[in-house]
């Protein structure tokens, strides 16, 4: 019987190999697209045999699901770090929005891949992914409600603001090709934060104070 330590080691090894496969697959997806990529090409790019590949994934959709979850794991982890770094709800909200932007810039290829290929997921995987995304938006919504409790928010639909924060701050992978020639990434970041927060009624001086 395997000990808890051995089980954890096996789990970590499996997750590490899955990350390796996802990284290799992304190289091919960028060149050929999701639908045109074969499992043999993924195995070669991941430096694993085709037979061994099937020990970790069953089909291409599993890779899409893993990439989606890995991106969400990263966002959740960074989200928690921001919340722990600031006490004021306005500062938390502004810096969460900024962190979403930073991560979508850092994970540009993965984010674009998710937006364009999520439709390829099977229904059970789609439900799980959408549930996790809904939970993330709900976390932003609860933060917005804290800002509202302080009387620093005029707009009365926190759920709509939360969805706008999640979507607008992720605009770089989708529209960066057209936006960035006229401004830097840093300027775009500040402009998006101002756009969202001022639209929600957060006082301008509070926003300027909180942008880092």
pLDDT at 101: 95
- Residue predicted with more confidence, 135 or 150: 135
What does each C-alpha distance from 16 to 22, 46, 85, 96, 163 come to in angstroms?
A: 10, 12, 29, 28, 32
pLDDT at 201: 80
Per-residue pLDDT, averaged over 44-71, amounts to 91
Three-state DSSP class for residue 152: coil
Q: What's domain 59-210's architecture?
A: Orthogonal Bundle (1.10)
Q: CB within 8 A of 202, min separation 6: which ones?
A: 90, 93, 147, 152, 153
CB 61 within 8 A of CB 180: no
- Residue predicted with more confidence, 208 or 38: 38
Per-residue pLDDT, averaged over 181-202, amounts to 89
Alpha carbons 107 and 105: distance in angstroms, whole number: 6
Would the pLDDT of 212 be above 60? no
Per-residue pLDDT, averaged over 14-42, amounts to 91
Return the H-helix or E-strand segment holding 195. Answer: helix 185-199
Domain range annotation of the chain: 1-58, 59-210
pTM to 2 decimal places: 0.85
Per-residue pLDDT, averaged over 83-101, amounts to 91
User: 1-58 with 59-210: one CATH topology?
Assistant: no
pLDDT at 2: 67
- How many separate helices (H) and strands (E) can be counted in the chain? 11, 0
pLDDT at 197: 86
Per-residue pLDDT, averaged over 120-147, amounts to 91
pLDDT at 208: 64
CB 166 within 8 A of CB 143: no
Tell me: domain 1-58, CATH 1.10.10.60, correct?
A: yes
């Amino acid at each position: 019987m395997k000990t808890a330590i051995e089980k954890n080691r096996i789990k970590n090894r499996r997750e590490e190999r899955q990350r390796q496969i996802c990284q290799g697959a992304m190289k091919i997806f960028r060149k050929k697209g999701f639908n045109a990529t074969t499992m043999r090409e993924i195995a070669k790019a991941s430096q694993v045999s085709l037979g061994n590949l099937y020990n970790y994934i069953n089909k291409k959709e599993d890779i899409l699901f893993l990439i989606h979850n890995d991106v969400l794991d990263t966002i959740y982890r960074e989200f928690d770090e921001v919340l722990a770094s600031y006490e004021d709800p306005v500062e938390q909200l502004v810096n969460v929005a900024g962190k979403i932007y930073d991560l979508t810039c850092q994970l540009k290829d993965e984010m674009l891949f998710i937006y364009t290929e999520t439709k390829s997921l099977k229904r059970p995987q789609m439900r799980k992914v959408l549930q996790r995304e809904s939970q993330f938006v709900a976390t932003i919504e609860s933060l917005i409600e804290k800002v509202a409790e302080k009387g620093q928010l005029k707009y009365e639909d926190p759920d709509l603001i939360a969805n706008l924060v999640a979507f607008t701050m992720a605009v770089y992978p989708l529209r960066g090709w057209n936006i960035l020639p006229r401004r830097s990434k840093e300027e775009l970041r500040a402009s998006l934060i101002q756009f969202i927060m001022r639209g929600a009624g957060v006082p301008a001086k509070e926003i300027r104070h909180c942008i880092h």
